[in-house]
Amino acid sequence: MGGQAPTRFLLFVARSELARVRPSHVINAAGKRGDPNVDWCESHREETIRSNILGAVNLADCCFIYDVHLTHLGSGCIYDYNEDHAWDGPGYTEEDEPNFTGSFYSNTKVLSERVLRHYSNVLILRIRNPIGADLHPKNMITKLASYKKLINVPNSGSILPSLIPAMILLARHNETGIYNFTNPGSFTHNEVMDLLKKHIWPELQWENFTEEEQRKVLMAPRCNTSLDVGKLERKLSEYGYLLPTAHEAMEDAFIKIKQSGNLNV
């Protein structure tokens, strides 16, 4: 019983705040990704479940009761390349069934999405490899720079300065359903590091290793995938918003970091 108390208390807090504030929209960016990485979730499963599944579903239910639109930031880390979706082939669409179950973190994201998609007030945005225009410790840029070895496989990514305005636009128009929420195109870790070296740290050095070698130093496997964002682009075009490619948005983010002058982690 004691383990259930925090969940019931947080549910009470959520309902109380919704009743007090009476917002028109809520954005849920909460969730457990682990520290320093998602391997943490493998040994902290109860905490991960409470945040990524129970917390997300309870908040959606509270918002439904109070007739509030909820934007939920889900995850695109639920797919992995295969024969039908190779790195140089078509990306996964919102209609494709998730096929990556290698990490407990990804499993919780799949389970929460399967419930949330049935709420008529919920917009699910699948983000992946988020990159912001700063050097925050949780920024993908900073995390990659802390590693001595990196794999070099194309992946989709969410360049936040270009996507946050899009998220607000979709929420204001009360859009619902599931959208892959990354920039068009894909990029490799080497391309990120090349930009970091070009704009921020010219002395930066790193090595590459294979996916097989990477698996030996991780508790849980990692997925590599590209997401199709055609649905997102079409919807945003209805509101006059043109989504920049991943490479365009990433270059712009690095320029903004350099211009800020805040180059310390």
CATH code of residue 63: 3.40.50.720
Structural domain contains residue 23 = yes
Structural domain contains residue 78 = yes
Q: What are phi and psi of 259, to 5 degrees?
A: -65, -30
Structural domain contains residue 120 = yes
Q: State whether the Cα torsion 201-205-210-212 is positive or negative.
A: negative
Would strands 69-75 and 149-150 be described as parallel, antiparallel, or unpaired? unpaired
**Among candidate residues 115, 134, 154, 169, the one with its CA nearest the CA of residue 260:** 134
The whole-number average pLDDT for the span 21-48 is 93
The whole-number average pLDDT for the span 189-217 is 93
The whole-number average pLDDT for the span 58-63 is 96
- Please state the pTM of the whole predicted model: 0.93
Structural domain contains residue 252 = yes
Three-state SS at 73: strand
Tally of domains within the chain = 1
Give the DSSP H/E element, type plus range, for residue 149.
strand 149-150
Structural domain contains residue 95 = yes
Q: According to the model, what pLDDT value does residue 2 have?
A: 35
Parent domain of 133: 2-260
Give the DSSP H/E element, type plus range, for residue 90.
none
**For 72-100, what is each residue's pLDDT tens digit?**
999 999 999 999 999 889 999 999 999 99
Structural domain contains residue 265 = no
Structural domain contains residue 158 = yes
Angstrom distance (rounded) from CA 34 to CA 198: 30
